[in-house]
């Protein structure tokens, strides 16, 4: 299958978003141009929706059967979550992240036309697949950002000018990221129940996802109880991120890897 107009549509979308990103960058200096940036983002997104609707009608089924089609959905919903988060929390970098990721997925589809028809096994053809991956994409991004903030905190306290505001920023990012992480975990469980009849099998990937979740749980409770102990909190945050990285990349290298059903090298 080929999406005949895809190159045209995706170029329009990516160009609109790219100009939007430039304006977003300028808006750090001149707040007023933020409106222009948002206008560009929204128009790009409208074109995106138009394309998805057209494709759906043309295929006469929900486009959810191939790798290319799932990427299209990522590109559609990433900006949406990005916007909701931006409206609530005003992190401009996060808005930028969501549009860059979305553009990246469009670019991958554009560069690998043959993967439009890259096949998806039946178990992955589920309405839970896309939300599951999407919330994880966001969660990892926000939690990674919280770790960057933690590193800054370490660095500052090393130089003796640590500011508690830094930790508060980390807190907020952890809360947002942890909320997404919880959603990812639960969507995964609900999906597994629909596909295989059990929500949780303690498969290695699931074990490490659970550990990641517990790591941030420790951070949240430690912070709540010991609002002033910033050094220890920063350490917990760093350790939690290490567990996250193991979950993301490392599971394939552990002795348990060959018992996992989740070690697809790509999604």
Indicate which single residue of 38, 43, 157, 172 sits in contact with other proteins (rule: CB under 8 A). Answer: 172
Shortest spacing between CB 220 and ligand HEM, in angstroms: 5
- 92-111 and 6-26 helices, crossing angle to 10°: 160
Q: Which does 45 bind (CB under 5 to 8 A by kind): other proteins, ligand HEM, none?
A: none
Q: How far apart are CA 187 and CA 164, in angstroms?
A: 35
CA atoms within 13 A on the CB side of 234: 23
Residue 121 dihedral angles phi and psi, to the nearest 5°: -65, 155
Per residue, the 3-state secondary structure of 62-129, as one string, reads: CCCCEHHHHHHHHHHHHHHHHHHHHHHHCCHHHHHHHHHHHHHHHHHHHHCHHHHHCECCHHHCCCCH
> Under rule CB under 6 A, how many of the chain's residues touch ligand HEM?
4
Q: What does 252 interact with, of ligand HEM, other proteins, none (CB < 5 to 8 A by kind)?
A: none
Residue showing tokens 């420790």: 218
Is there binding between residue 168 and ligand HEM (CB under 6 A)? no
- The answer to whether the CB of 97 falls within 8 A of the CB of 141 is yes
For other proteins, the closer of residues 19 and 207 by Cβ is 207
Does residue 183 touch ligand HEM according to CB under 6 A? no
Closest CB 94 distance from ligand HEM, rounded Å: 21
**From residue 200 to residue 239, what is the string marking binding to ligand HEM with x (rule CB under 6 A)?**
-----------------x--xx--x---------------
Residues making contact with other proteins (CB under 8 A): 65, 85, 88-89, 112, 114-115, 117-119, 121-123, 125-126, 168, 171-172, 175-176, 178-180, 182-183, 186, 189-190, 194-200, 202, 204, 207-208, 210-211, 214-215, 217-218, 220-228, 254-256, 259, 266
């Amino acid at each position: 299958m080929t999406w005949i107009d895809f190159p045209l549509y995706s170029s329009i979308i990516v160009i609109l978003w790219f100009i939007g990103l430039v304006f977003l960058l300028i808006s750090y200096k001149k707040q007023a141009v933020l409106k222009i940036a948002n206008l560009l983002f929204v128009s790009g997104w409208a074109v995106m929706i138009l394309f998805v609707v057209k494709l759906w009608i043309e295929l006469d089924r929900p486009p959810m059967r191939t790798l290319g089609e799932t990427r299209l959905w990522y590109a559609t919903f990433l900006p949406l979550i990005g916007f909701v988060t931006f409206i609530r929390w005003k992190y401009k970098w996060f808005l930028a992240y969501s549009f860059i990721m979305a553009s990246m997925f469009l670019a991958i589809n554009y560069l690998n036309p043959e993967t439009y028809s890259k096949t998806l096994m039946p178990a992955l053809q589920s309405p839970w697949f896309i939300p599951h991956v999407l919330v994880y994409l966001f969660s990892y991004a926000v939690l990674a950002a919280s770790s960057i903030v933690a590193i800054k905190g370490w660095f500052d306290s090393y130089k003796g000018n640590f500011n508690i505001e830094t930790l508060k920023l980390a807190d907020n990012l952890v809360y947002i990221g942890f909320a997404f992480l919880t959603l990812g975990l639960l969507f995964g469980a609900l999906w597994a129940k629909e596909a295989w009849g059990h929500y949780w099998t303690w498969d290695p990937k699931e074990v490490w996802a659970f550990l990641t979740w517990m790591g941030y749980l420790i951070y949240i409770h430690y912070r709540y109880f010991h609002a002033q102990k910033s050094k220890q909190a920063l350490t917990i945050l760093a350790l939690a991120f290490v567990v996250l990285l193991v979950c993301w990349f490392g599971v394939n290298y552990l002795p348990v890897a060959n018992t996992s059903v989740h070690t697809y090298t790509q999604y």
